[in-house]
A and B are shown apart, each in its own frame.
Chain A
Amino acid sequence: MAKQPAAIVGVGQTHHRAKREDVSMAGLCREAIDRALEDANLSLEDIDAIVVGKAPDLFEGVMMPELFLAESLGAAGKPLLRVHTAGSVGGSTAIVASSLVQAGVHKRVLTVAYEKQSESNAMWALSVPVPFNMPVHAGAGGYFAPHVRSYIRRSGAPTHVGAIVAAKDRQNALRNPYAHLRNPDTTVESVLASQVLWDPIRYDETCPSSDGACAMVIVDEDTAAASPNPAWIHGTVMRSEATTAAERDQVNPQAGRDAAAYLWKQAGITDPLKEIDAAEIYVPFSWFEPMWLENLGFTAEGEGWKLTESGGTAMDGALPVNCSGGVLSSNPIGASGMLRFGEAALQVRGAAGEHQVDGARRALGHAYGGGSQFFAMWVVGADRPTN
């Protein structure tokens, strides 16, 4: 049996900040949930099931968020699922929620993802020494920096391309009232002048640590009929790959390439650069924009940096990327993937406010996690899919 049509009719997010000491984790989630429900013109009573995601347990020292959040999320008496795929979890969580609707199991599913980085120390959590091993691990930046170096070597990209991405996303963030970083003075030059943390990655090319949450209401076709601007799901995909296989391509991972190819096929897209109007791509370190442009098939291998350098990924470019400011401007890790998915939905609903891309009809939401071994993506559109 074919999938049932499903649409996003509500998107909510918190104001992302370094420390949201005014709210508990439950309160943070509810802030996003209440906004999503209001947007959807629904209440918790209307919801059939809830799917929650968060970042790896050590990041917050919370092992069973579904257990302690159930009542606050309004899940009493309803199915509650927790999804867990490292940094891509926000995307995977949204996909699990959408699959419950597409499978015809539920009509109205609420999904939420969150992170309170201020209550923990992700750098520490990612670098806990393992007995017998060499203690050279240095957080996510330490993990990804060598692979960024590999990309620069392999593609021959000029070394300022990362700074172009960082300056663009920080300027885009000024148009997003929910964004964490608000640095109007950020320029390519100021990024290049910032401290090198994990050579070749500079401070300003790095995502912040944020507290925040994102929620969405995903519904069936009948419920979506009441919405003035549903974002229809045109395709979803998740892929993973072995972390440590010999000769694994860490610059252009197979799982990401395969996922993208299957996603475009589902959505009936043959030329993504032409057919996608806005993309929200998981870019925690600036160089991942050109890397993922290639991995996603927007450009040929080795050409991603050219699209970035030419201004093609700016708000007025051929492919506006991360108009919300992206992960580089707000990074509540557990929620960051869902924010990409939610921002993509806002674009095709014409509801992205000051960072709206004029006339956006189809948008990509993308997330990755772990050591680039989990990928989650969706394409959403203003029109009900015909296939």
Chain B
Amino acid sequence: MSRTLSAPVTVAFDYTRSTGPVLGRFLTGLRDQRVVGGRTSEGRVVVPPPEFDPVTHQQLDDFVEVADTGTVTSWTWVPEPVAGQPLDRPFAFALVTLDGADAPIVHALDVASPDQVRTGMRVRVRWAAERVGAITDIACFEPAEDAPTGSATELGDLGDNPVTGVITPVELDYQYAASPEESAFYRAIAEGRIIGQRCPACGKVYVPPRSACPADGTPTTDEVELSQTGTVTTFCIVNVPFLGQRITPPYVSAYVLLDGADIAFLHLILDIPAEEVRMGMRVKAVWKPREEWGTTIENISHFSPTGDPDADYDTYKHHL
């Protein structure tokens, strides 16, 4: 058995990006199979156009259309593409200086092997069949040895439906690892027990246990089994729905201070109308049916009022 528990976590969100006028012009061009570059104060044509001039720092306002053909100025081979890369087969990432531009753009070059790439080779944009105003409108570059050398031209009208935003999905997949102390806690939870650890220096009992006392940094080693009853120190009633929420509002999110512990933890209070929950209310753990248990605090479905008189304020006020 591994010393620690771990579980996969995916954090994913479709972020939106306002492009601003400069990059918006570049993306609008791509949608129409046109590559827009910006001319800097030093007369260099750069693709994509920088938002602000590197010398004068003013917002760029001089735009040209460059060719969709160009020359590879450097490259690297990608033998094993990963999810989200432009091509799902081995390809080259290439720096391509488009005809009419003075600085390269980086993109994928679709060739079968590194033998088919060389610095100086001529290439052409392969446009995506469906274009939405994003860098992916350029599907990739492809070899075009015979392509004539193009040049920069005046940028004509880009129409009256400019691109102003793009969607940028971000997804992080990782393995969450609980500490050895937390793992022991969750394994005890899987047996219906709640354990904490006492700091040998300050004597405080932490639940869930930490690897070290947050107050003095001392490794916590002394295991303590805790009561399954405790006191609500403070709480809020969550009435607001939000993206990713796992419990349907309204619900009471409460700090529960177990008897024998020196720190409260957050859990759910049920079996009582939300408006009747009180600071100082005595509660007990209510467990899910044993067959539903895993190594998670969610084995405790919620905390429920014990019916005992409320705890005296003085007994928990130093936990607020």
A binds B: yes
Residue A138 CB within 8 A of the other chain: yes
Q: Mark B219-251, 1 if CB is under 8 A from A, else 0.
A: 000000000000001111111101111110001
Q: Which of B6, B20, B235, B318 meets A23, CB within 8 Å?
A: B20
Residue of A nearest to B297 (CB): A134
Q: How far is the CB of A202 from chain B (nearest CB, A)?
A: 10
Which of A147, A195, A246 is the one whose CB lies under 8 Å from B204?
A246
With A132-B297, A134-B266, A251-B320: A242-B242 Cβ-Cβ less than 8 Å = no
Answer whether A149 and B235 are a contact pair too, CB < 8 Å, given A30-B52, A124-B13, A132-B178: yes
Q: Is the CB of A245 within 8 A of B214?
A: yes
Do A247 and B204 touch (CB < 8 A)?
A: yes
Interface segment, one of B79-87, B100-108, B144-152, B163-171 = B163-171
Q: B176, A130: Cβ atoms under 8 Å?
A: yes
In this assembly, does B295 line the interface, its C-beta being within 8 Å of a C-beta of chain A?
Answer: yes
A247 contacts which chain B residues (CB < 8 A)?
Answer: 204, 262-263, 318-319
Which residues of A lie under 8 Å from residue B11 when comparing CB positions? 58, 128
- Interface mask (A344-370 → B, CB under 8 Å = 1, otherwise 0): 000000000000000000000000000
Cβ 8 A contact of A134, one of B50, B210, B263, B298? B298
- In the complex the two chains form, is A132's CB within 8 Å of B243's CB? no
Q: Taking CB as reference atom, which chain B residue is nearest A129?
A: B246
Q: Nearest residue in A to B185 (C-beta to C-beta)?
A: A132
Give the distance in Å from the alpha carbon of A30 to the alpha carbon of B21 in the complex.
Answer: 13
List of B residues within 8 angstroms of A141 by Cβ: 236, 240
Q: Does A65 interact with chain B (Cβ within 8 Å)?
A: no
Per the bound structure, the CA–CA distance linking A135 and B320 in Å amounts to: 21
**B18, A139: Cβ atoms closer than 8 Å:** no
Asked if B39 CB lies within 8 Å of chain A CBs, one says no
Q: Could you say which of A25, A145, A245, A251 has the most chain B C-beta atoms within 10 Å of its C-beta?
A: A245
Q: Nearest chain A CB to B192's CB is how many angstroms away?
A: 16
Instruction: Give the residues in chain B near A142, CB-CB below 8 Å.
Output: 236, 238, 253
Pair A138/B176 contact, Cβ less than 8 Å:
no
Q: Which of A61, A116, A118 sits near B170, CB closer than 8 Å?
A: A61
Pick from A72, A127, A154, A198: contact of B244, CB below 8 A: A127
CA distance A21 to B189 in the complex (A): 48
Instruction: Report if A188 contacts B (CB, 8 A).
Output: no
- The answer, yes or no, to whether A273 is at the interface (CB within 8 Å) is no
Given contacts A74-B57, A124-B244, A138-B253, contact A195 B239 (CB under 8 A): yes
Asked if B99 lies at the interface with its beta carbon under 8 angstroms from chain A, I say no
A120 and B13 contacting across the interface, CB-CB below 8 Å: yes
Chain A residues within an 8 Å CB radius of B210: 244
Interfacial chain A residues near B318, Cβ < 8 Å: 247
CB atoms of A61 and B268 under 8 A apart: no
Asked if A22 lies at the interface with its beta carbon under 8 angstroms from chain B, I say: yes
Q: How far is the CB of A334 from chain B (nearest CB, A)?
A: 15
Complex interface: chain B residues within 8 A of A121 (CB)? 13, 242-243
Q: Give 1 or 0 for each of A14-33: 1 = CB within 8 Å of chain B CB.
A: 00000011111111001000
Pairwise interchain contact A243-B57, C-beta atoms closer than 8 A: no
Q: Is A71 interfacial (CB 8 A cutoff)?
A: yes
* Cα of A141 to Cα of B241 in the assembled complex, Å: 12
A145 to B13 Cα, complex, angstroms: 26
**Contact mask for chain B residues 1-36; partner A; CB cutoff 8 A; 1 contact, 0 none:** 000011111010101111111110000000000000
A10 to chain B, nearest CB (A): 15
CB-CB under 8 A from A22, the residues of chain B are 18, 20, 164
Distance, CA A242 to CA B263, complexed state (A): 13
**Assembled-state Cα–Cα distance A25/B52 (Å):** 12
Give the interface SS of chain B, mostly helix, strand, loop or mixed.
Answer: mixed
Q: Tell me if B240 and A198 are in contact (CB < 8 A).
A: yes
User: How far is B244's CA from A129's CA once the two chains are assembled, in angstroms?
Assistant: 8
Q: How far is the CA of A24 from the CA of B59 in the complex (A)?
A: 12
**B52 and A24 form a contact (CB under 8 A):** no
- B242 near A123 with CB under 8 A, answer yes
Among B20, B237, B247, the residue within 8 A (CB) of A24 is B20
Q: Known contacts being A127-B242, A131-B7, is A146 close to B19, with CB within 8 Å?
A: no
Determine whether A150 belongs to the interface, using a CB cutoff of 8 Å to chain B: yes
Q: Which B residues are in CB contact (< 8 Å) with A150?
A: 233-234, 279, 320
Known contacts A24-B51, A246-B215, A247-B262; A123/B243 CB under 8 A: yes
In contact, A197 and B57 (Cβ under 8 angstroms): no
Most buried by B among A130, A136, A249, A250: A136
Q: Is the CB of A249 within 8 A of B320?
A: yes
A199 contact set on B, CB distance < 8 A: 236-237, 239, 274
Are A242 and B236 within 8 A (Cβ)? no
* Measured CA separation A147–B213 after assembly (Å): 23
The docked-state distance in angstroms from the alpha carbon of A245 to that of B202 is 11
- CA of A132 to CA of B8 in the docked complex: distance in angstroms? 11
Closest-CB distance, A215 to chain B (whole angstroms) = 14
**CB-contacts of B122-179 with A (<8 A):** 164-165, 168, 170, 176, 178
Chain A positions within 8 Å of B9 at CB level: 128, 130-131
Which residues of the other chain, B, contact A119 by a CB distance below 8 angstroms? 15-18
Q: Flag if B18 contacts A138 (CB, 8 Å).
A: no
Question: From A139, which residue of chain B is reached at the shortest CB distance?
Answer: B242
- Chain B CB within 8 A of A60 CB: yes
23 of the cross-chain contacts (CB-CB < 8 Å) are A58-B13, A71-B52, A72-B50, A119-B17, A130-B9, A131-B9, A132-B5, A132-B186, A132-B296, A132-B297, A134-B297, A134-B298, A135-B245, A137-B266, A138-B253, A142-B253, A150-B233, A153-B313, A197-B239, A242-B215, A243-B214, A245-B263, A247-B319
Given A120-B13, A121-B13, A131-B176, output 8 extra A-B contacts at Cβ < 8 Å.
A61-B168, A119-B15, A123-B242, A124-B244, A135-B246, A150-B234, A198-B237, A250-B320
Task: Please list the residues of chain A having a beta carbon within 8 angstroms of any beta carbon in chain B.
Answer: 20-27, 30, 43-44, 58, 60-61, 71-72, 74, 76, 116, 118-121, 123-125, 127-139, 141-142, 145-147, 149-150, 153-154, 195-201, 242-247, 249-251
